[in-house]
Amino acid sequence: MNKIKEILIGTNNSGKYKEISALLPKEIVKHSLKEFKISAPEETGKNYKENAFIKALYYSKKTNLICLSDDSGLEIDLLNGSPGIYSSRWGGKKKNFDLAINKIFYEMNKIKKDWKKDNRAKFFCCLALVWPNGKSFFSEGIVNGKISKKKKGKKGFGYDPIFVPKGYNKTFGEMEPKLKMFIDHRYKAYLKIKNFFG
C-alpha cells in the first residue's frame, strides 16, 4: 500500500485539529482548512459516518488533497443518546459549550433530579479518509464514561469539562491533553487507519 505523505485535516474545530495532527506521524505534510477559503458544508447526514463523509469528500474535492475528517458526539444514556450527532449544534451558532453543557444539565435534571447514578455516557467518533477521486475509508471509536455533576477543568474543548472516562476520576477537561488524546474516541478510531500513514 502507498503510504499517505500529505493530508488535509478537514475540521474547523481547533481542539480536534490539535489532537488529529498530534496523532499523525511527524513526517506527514499536514494542511489545515485555515489555508483555504472554504466554507463548511451543511451536515445533512443522518449519522456520524454520513456526516464525516460529507465533510471529507467536500474538502477533498475543493483542495484536491486527501482529506481526513471527523464527526463525533457525546451520547448520554439518560437522554437516549442525545446530543449525539447534534453535539456541535447544542452549542448554538457561536459554538458556546458553556451553553451546551448547561442544556445537558437542564435536560438531565428534567428527567431525573438525582441522576448521579444514572450518568452513563460515551463519546463516539467516526473518521473518514477520502481521496479526491472519491475513494473512502471509515473507522469508528468509542470511549465510555460518565457525566460529572459539575463542570471541571479548563484544559480541553467542547464537552471535556463534564466527561469522566471509565477507569479515571478526572474529567477530560482536567487531564493533560497528552493523556486525554491517547484514551479518547478519536484515538481509538485513529488506530484503525494508522496503517495508511506508515
Closest contact distance (angstroms) between CB of 58 and ligand ITT is 11
Residue closer to ligand ITT, measured from CB, 3 or 148: 148
For cell 449544534, name the residue. Answer: 89
- Spatial strand order of the sheet with 120-130 comes to 29-32, 6-9, 67-76, 120-130, 136-147, 163-165
60 vs 118: CA distance, rounded Å: 41
SS3 breakdown of the chain: % helix, strand, coil, rounded to 5?
A: 35, 25, 40
Interface positions with ligand ITT (CB under 6 A): 11-13, 16, 40, 43, 55, 70-74, 87-88, 97, 123, 156-160, 172, 184
Closest contact distance (angstroms) between CB of 151 and ligand ITT is 12
DSSP bridge partners of 75: 83, 122
Closest contact distance (angstroms) between CB of 40 and ligand ITT is 6
Task: List, by residue number, the catalytic residues.
Answer: 71
Residue closer to ligand ITT, measured from CB, 113 or 178: 178
Q: Which residue is nearest to ligand ITT (CB)?
A: 158
Closest contact distance (angstroms) between CB of 37 and ligand ITT is 15
C-alpha cell at 116: 448521579
Residue closer to ligand ITT, measured from CB, 102 or 198: 102
**Amino acid residing at 69:** S
**Among 47, 55, 19, residue whose Cα is nearest residue 188:** 19
Residue closer to ligand ITT, measured from CB, 3 or 36: 36
